[in-house]
Amino acid sequence: MSHRGFFICLEGIDGCGKTTQARMLVNSLNKMGYRAIYTAEPSRGKIGSFIKRYCLHRDKRISSIVEALLFAADRVEHLDDEVIPAIMEGKVVVSDRYLFSSLAYQGAAGLDINWIRKINEYAIKPDLAIFIDVDPEVAIKRLKTIKSVMENLENEIKVREIYLKLVESGDLIRVDGNRSKREVAKEILHLTLSALKKIK
């Protein structure tokens, strides 16, 4: 069993199934004897709650610069309050979205990726970052209700293109999400266990 913590993030467009997959991964790891926890961005902290109210649940998108700055601020709080303390206790932290969501979503809104990286300089590098790739048309149809201003086909197509570039650059590992829940979960667990073995 590993004695140092481990940080994984799952990324993807809205409706790709990453929340379900993150929860399945946490359950599988806990059953295997790891101490795994689920966490998410936007976080449940004060800035995260503000983002949900102020940025996501409204008719029109706010300035993408403000969005990027708020998500970056929430990330610092999320790391300080939830992720880093759990890693220090030797836990496996599975985050439903992280830095790459800012690169993809705020990048798709037209911001310079290097600037987004710059304002996120304090965000630690995850041990494993997975992109669950689902066809945007399928993903949009899966959404029962539109929860955020980001959720429209045109936007998700642009977001996916940036995620794919991050796969090319080696920032993310692509998992084909156009398969059954179980098959996707099996591959994510396999990638996680291989990465966990390397740090033992």
Per-residue contact track with ligand TMP, 124 to 163, x per CB under 6 A?
-----------------------xx-xx------------
What residues from 67 to 86 belong to the interface with ligand TMP (CB under 6 A)? 71
Q: What DSSP state is assigned to residue 90?
A: T
What residues from 48 to 67 belong to the interface with ligand TMP (CB under 6 A)? 56
Hey, what are 43's tokens?
């976080």
Nearest residue to ligand TMP by CB is 105
Cα(80)–Cα(52) distance, rounded to whole angstroms?
20
Q: Is the preceding omega at residue 42 within 30 degrees of 0, hence cis?
A: yes
Whether 175 and 16 have beta carbons less than 8 Å apart is answered as no
Cα(41)–Cα(112) distance, rounded to whole angstroms?
21
Nearest to 120 by CA among 159, 165, 70: 70
Per-residue contact track with ligand TMP, 9 to 38, x per CB under 6 A?
-----x------------------------
Hey, what are 169's tokens?
């650059």
Q: Which of 5, 17, 42, 177 binds ligand TMP (CB under 6 A)?
A: 42
Q: Does 102 bind ligand TMP (CB under 6 A)?
A: yes
Binding site for ligand TMP (CB under 6 A): 14, 41-42, 56, 71, 97, 101-102, 105-106, 147-148, 150-151
